[in-house]
Amino acid sequence: MTLDHALIDELLAVRSLGGLDGDDAHLLERELAAHGDCDECRRLEAEHAEVAGMLALSLDPRPVDEGIADRIVAQEQRPERRPERTATAPADELSVRRDARLGRWQAAFGVAAAVALVLAFVLATRPSGGVHVPDTIVAFEGAPGELAMAYTPGERGALVWGAGLPDPGGGMVYELWMIEDGNPVRGACLAPTEGAVATYLDADLSSAELMAVTVESTDCPSAPTTDPVFTAALA
Amino acid sequence: MGSAETAGTADEALLLRVGAGDEGAFRELFARYTAVSHALAFRLVRQAQVAEEIVQEAFLAVWRTPERYDPARGSVRSWLMGTVHHRAVDAVRREQAQRRRADQAAASAPRVAEDPIDDVVSALDLPRERRLVQKALAGLPDEQRDVIQRMYFDGMSQSQIAERTGLPLGTVKSRTLLAMRRLRSHLGEVSP
């Protein structure tokens, strides 16, 4: 690992364009974890994201059906305004597929349970510099092997580690998701080495009710394509 | 830079209002960025229906969970475009075979009229921004522009580009970084 930003700069540039894959995706995770709470890393990430976002402006705009906004607002009422989802099936196919996915995730939510583990692991595994010592540890339930996460509720970041995990298969990795209001938000990709994983998750967990792990391609998709193999409910 | 700054500030204000459940704010954000989002998604997936679904899902996520936006990681615009791009790239990589079929259809399809909604997006100064971004892209050395085109607009990974072009992977990455730095220096005035 390096403590300068040259490697991170290069890998973030590629990631901002959607091109990062293979070992470099994991290398970037490790480098970012090693840098911990790093202002320069965030600055580089924002800078590359900004340039990447501007590239889309070079294209000729394509109007969309104005009814899309109506459908989103009408069918997807925000939870705070309509706490209970309607039992009526949405009319469009997209919503039907989405609800089916949500159903699987919500079912997984009911299976998960938080279990406290040994805090000493945290001190041994946390990256150096700028990371607070987590005060809460949860164990994941699911596939064979052990997977746990240490974090502090209300604070950014978490340590995730595991052992005895099954090989996800050729060209596949484990992907960690934060479930917020029933929706999966990408966390990190985990490629086990002899069944073991350890990574620092640089993410805001304050809105997450549940953590879940799926088996995904090494491209680490931004939305899960398979059902969870591990879940853990958060406090 | 003034108009871009104003747009960026206005975007954040709109997103705050979306967070409070303001449908009008959501519709305004939708009107500002769906045409560009749709163009980006269509450029990648080459299928109108899939592109529209990607846009719908992206803005659905904006409506449901606007709090996912983190100002420390860039502007609202870059967040939105990143969301759309990620979804479109995922679709491309899942549907490689389907895309090959669609490429043939796109090649024979009539070209969409240029700037059909300039009146809608003029408040955001997009036509001017489009010219600036196009100029910045055109100003890149050919080998750098090629990497950007393949990676961002065609959805290819660094490994796929290396394999397709025969370049060492390290060269693909270094060209990407150089291109991004050059674009950044030319596009500073477009940043929100």
Q: How large is the average pLDDT for residues B39-63?
A: 91
The verdict on residue A44 lying in a domain is yes
A52 with A145, same domain? no
B32–A contact, CB cutoff 8 A: no
A59 with A136, same domain? no
B57–A contact, CB cutoff 8 A: yes
The verdict on residue A101 lying in a domain is no
In angstroms, the CA A230 to CA A138 distance is 12
pLDDT above 90: percentage of residues in chain B: 54
- Look up the domain containing A200 and give its range: 120-233
The verdict on residue A110 lying in a domain is no
Backbone Cα Rg of chain B: 17
The verdict on residue A98 lying in a domain is no
The CATH code of the domain that includes A66 is: 1.10.10
A57 with A139, same domain? no
Q: How large is the average pLDDT for residues B168-185?
A: 96
Looking at the complex, report in whole angstroms how far the Cα of residue B65 sits from the nearest Cα belonging to chain A: 8
Tokens, residue B105: 């259809």
Position B107 scores a pLDDT of 56
Quickly state the pLDDT bin for B100 (edges 50, 70, 90).
low
A136 with A225, same domain? yes
Position A205 scores a pLDDT of 83
A43 with A129, same domain? no
Position B39 scores a pLDDT of 95
The verdict on residue A109 lying in a domain is no
Q: How far lies B119's CA from each of A63, A164, B126, B153, B190, in Å?
A: 12, 59, 10, 26, 20
Query: What confidence tens digit (pLDDT) does each residue in B53-92 have?
Result: 999 989 998 998 898 888 888 899 999 999 999 989 888 8
A124 with A218, same domain? yes
Position B37 scores a pLDDT of 95
Question: How many domains is chain A built from?
Answer: 2
Contact A57 B61 (CB under 8 A): no
A63 with A141, same domain? no
A127 with A226, same domain? yes
The verdict on residue A22 lying in a domain is yes
Residues in chain B within 8 Å Cβ distance of A96: none
Contact B35 A50 (CB under 8 A): no
Contact B137 A58 (CB under 8 A): yes
Report, as ranges of residue numbers, the positions in chain A whose pLDDT lies below 50.
Answer: 1, 79-131
Nearest to A208 by CA among A126, A137, A109: A109
Number of A/B CB contacts below 8 angstroms equals: 222
Q: What is the average pLDDT score of chain B?
A: 82
Contact A55 B177 (CB under 8 A): no
The verdict on residue A66 lying in a domain is yes
Q: Which of A46, A52, A61 sits opposite B117 (nearest CB)?
A: A61
Q: Which of A51, A180, A222 sits opposite B183 (nearest CB)?
A: A51
**Is 0.85 exceeded by the ipTM?**
no
Quickly state the pLDDT bin for B6 (edges 50, 70, 90).
low
Quickly state the pLDDT bin for B36 (edges 50, 70, 90).
very high
Last residue of a domain, one of A77, A101, A133: A77
Contact A219 B191 (CB under 8 A): no
Residues in chain B within 8 Å Cβ distance of A85: none
B164–A contact, CB cutoff 8 A: no
A51 with A143, same domain? no
A142 with A206, same domain? yes
B144–A contact, CB cutoff 8 A: no
SS in 3 state form for chain B? CHHHHHHHHHHHHHHHHHHCCCHHHHHHHHHHHHHHHHHHHHHHHCCHHHHHHHHHHHHHHHHHCHHHCCHHHCCHHHHHHHHHHHHHHHHHHHCHHHHHHHHHHHHHCCCCCCCCCHHHHHHHCHHHHHHHHHHHHHCCCHHHHHHHHHHHHCCCCHHHHHHHHCCCHHHHHHHHHHHHHHHHHHHHHHCC
Q: Which of B85, B89, B129 sits opposite A57 (nearest CB)?
A: B129
A65 with A12, same domain? yes
Position B190 scores a pLDDT of 57
A214 with A140, same domain? yes
Higher per-residue confidence, A141 vs B183: B183
Structural domains of chain B, ranges and CATH numbers in brackets? 1-113 (1.10.1740.10), 125-192 (1.10.10.10)
Quickly state the pLDDT bin for B118 (edges 50, 70, 90).
very low
pTM value? 0.59
Position A93 scores a pLDDT of 37
Residue of B nearest to A74 (CA): B23
Last residue of a domain, one of A22, A49, A77: A77
Phi-psi region of B115 (alpha: psi -120 to 50; beta: other; left: phi over 0): left
Tokens, residue B129: 């921004």
Position B55 scores a pLDDT of 94
Helices A22-35 and A39-55: crossing angle in degrees, nearest 10, is: 140
